[in-house]
Amino acid sequence: MINFRRSVKSILTTIASVSVLALAACSPTGGEDAGSPGETGDGLSGSITFTATFPEEAVQPAIDAFNKEYPDAEVRYEALPFKDLNDVIQTRIGSGDSTPDVYGADQPRIANLVNSGLLTDISEEFPDADEIFDPVTVEVSTVDGKLYAAPVNTSSIVLYYNKELLDNAGIEHPGKSHEDRMTWEELRDSAEAVQKAGAKWGFQFFRISQIFQMQALPESLGGGNGMNTEVEPHKPEVTNDAWVESMQFMQDLHEDGISPRGVTPEQTPEMFAAGEIAYFLATTAHHDTWANDLDFEYGIAPHPYFEGGEVMTPTGAWSLGLNPNSENAELAKAFIRFVTATPEGSGAWAEGVGNIPANLATRADYFEDPLYADDPSYSIADLLNYELHNTAKNRARTPSFIEFETVMGTTFEDIRNGAPVKEALENAESSMGGARGR
């Protein structure tokens, strides 16, 4: 079994750093899956460029594995901070540049990228996509029935809790099983009680003010994902009762001092790791980072939901896409296929980059790590498999997603800081009324 234990702490730190340029050799496929579309690389040579947000050392294992199959080719890898990646894609590819040949496509932005002519249909290379990948990741990578990017990772959010802080307050630890899921109302009461017993903060969202995380609240009350794409692909819908009620709940957490104001998503994990937060709702990547590395014990519980409502958990990560202007498209497609669809490539990617694999076979191996297979009766892997197959929902699939994400980020921040909830949501909806994929 591939060793999936890795220093994700260094990876997470490096992702935000200045751009790095790495040069690595790669090569054509002749492995056990040779013969599948995009994998037979006989005679492929030359070079391609690959751009994503992952640091060089994270991507290197996959490049090394590819190199064993393609000795006559090379891949030039460029790491960019997330905030710069979209601008680079829009500027370079949008102006007809042939580089990067392959790039990391943020899954909720794929519809926008396709609408802007920045991705190539790769359906023929993946006729077996539904068998290889998590269906939710295939769905978000598909536009009008065509696969435009191959899923490489996905994600899930869980509720971390500081056992010491709960013990000090005499609060029973929440259960790990999806059947023990707390309601938002129960979580608020517990967080408030732990805070009264001495915790600095009762609860905190990881990605506060980001649609990735906040969408789960109105979804639980039946309010939808914020974009009524069944009516038209650009129509925002964030003023219904469910959105207003759920955002009022979020605001009250901050207004009542249970959750802090004025902190960024980059700061929140550090606050939990410092023992300042009782309950922390965040991605599983932090479990890789924190295991055996904190000064206190923490537990993991399921994502909460509103009493009487539905359960929805955030998901989504990265797919690999092909530049329509690539001058070595066959090699680029072979690279995408190898990294995402083969055991060797997908396993090497998971070993280096971490995060939950979109490849189902690789995910099964990934979850055999004791970090996830922690309890034979009900493990963290059992919880994540349940969430990913039953409660995970993508963000809105719309050409206007980038503007929607930006506007809602500002709106969530305004609400957190005390703006009248309904008015803030009405302003957001009206400001996006003319959105057309910008």
Upstream peptide bond of 127 is cis (omega within 30 degrees of 0): no
Q: What is the largest CA-CA distance in the chain?
A: 68
What is the phi/psi pair of residue 398, to 5°?
Answer: -145, 145
Decide if 262 is inside a domain.
yes
Domain region containing 177: 157-314
| Residue 335 domain flag | yes
Helix (H, G, I), strand (E, B) or coil at 217: helix
Distance CA 274, CA 257 (A): 19
292 and 342 in a single domain? The answer is no
Residue type, 424: A
- Torsion, Cα 64 68 70 73, to 10 degrees, reads 40
**Residue 47: CB atoms within 10 Å:** 16
Q: 24 - beta bridge partners?
A: 75
Which CATH number characterizes residue 207's domain? 3.40.190.10
Residue 379 domain flag: no
Is residue 227 in some structural domain?
A: yes
Same domain, 146 and 287: no
Q: In what helix (H) or strand (E) does residue 216 lie, and over which residues does it extend?
A: helix 216-220
- Domain ends where: 350, 366, 382? 366
**For residue 260, is it within any domain?**
yes
Burial of 389 (0-12, 13-18, 19+ CB in 10 A): exposed
Residues 148 and 166 in one domain: no
Query: pLDDT tens-digit profile of 60-89?
Result: 999 999 988 999 989 999 999 988 998 899
In a shared domain, residues 276 and 170 = yes
Distance (Å, whole) CA 164 – CA 331: 53
H-helix segments, 342-420: 343-353, 360-366, 380-390, 401-416
End-to-end CA distance of the chain: 45
HSE value, Cβ hemisphere, 13 Å, CA-based, for 427: 14
Same domain assignment for residues 91 and 179: no
CA pair distance 285, 266, nearest whole angstrom: 13
Q: Same domain, yes or no, for 281 and 345? A: no
Asked if residue 215 and residue 135 are part of one domain, the reply reads no
Q: Are residues 269 and 341 in the same domain?
A: no
Q: Kindly state whether residues 161 and 299 are assigned to the same domain.
A: yes
32 with 142, same domain? Answer: yes
Q: What is the pTM of this model?
A: 0.88
Residues 396 and 226: beta-carbon distance below 8 Å: yes
Contact 317, 154 (CB under 8 A): yes
What is the enclosing helix (H) or strand (E) of 91? helix 82-92
**Does residue 313 sit in helix, strand or coil?**
strand
- The Cα–Cα gap between 75 and 86 comes to 21
Residues 89 and 104: beta-carbon distance below 8 Å: no
CA distance 344 to 27: 13
Q: Would 424 be classed as within a structural domain?
A: no
Give the CA distances from residue 14 to residues 8, 58, 284, 316, in Å, rounded to whole numbers and listed in that order: 10, 10, 18, 21
**Number of domains, the chain:** 2
Token pair for 376:
């034979």
What are the pLDDT tens digits along the chain (438 aa)? Answer: 555 544 444 344 333 333 333 333 333 333 333 333 333 345 788 999 999 999 999 999 999 999 889 999 899 999 999 889 988 999 999 999 999 999 999 999 999 999 999 999 999 999 999 999 999 999 999 999 999 999 999 999 999 999 999 999 999 999 999 999 999 999 999 999 999 999 999 999 999 999 999 999 999 999 999 998 666 667 889 999 999 999 999 999 999 999 999 999 999 999 999 999 999 999 999 998 898 789 999 999 999 999 999 999 999 999 999 999 999 999 999 999 999 999 999 999 999 998 899 999 999 999 999 999 999 999 999 999 999 999 999 999 888 898 999 999 999 999 999 999 999 999 999 998 644 444
Q: Are residues 260 and 148 in the same domain?
A: no
Q: Which of 271, 299, 314 is the last residue of a domain?
A: 314
Last residue of a domain, one of 277, 292, 314: 314
Asked, for residue 208, whether it belongs to a domain, the answer is: yes
192, 152, 159: which is closest to 173 by C-alpha?
Answer: 159
- Nearest to 160, CA basis, from 253, 247, 275, 317: 275
Within-domain flag for 250: yes
User: Within this chain, do residues 182 and 287 fall inside the same structural domain, yes or no?
Assistant: yes
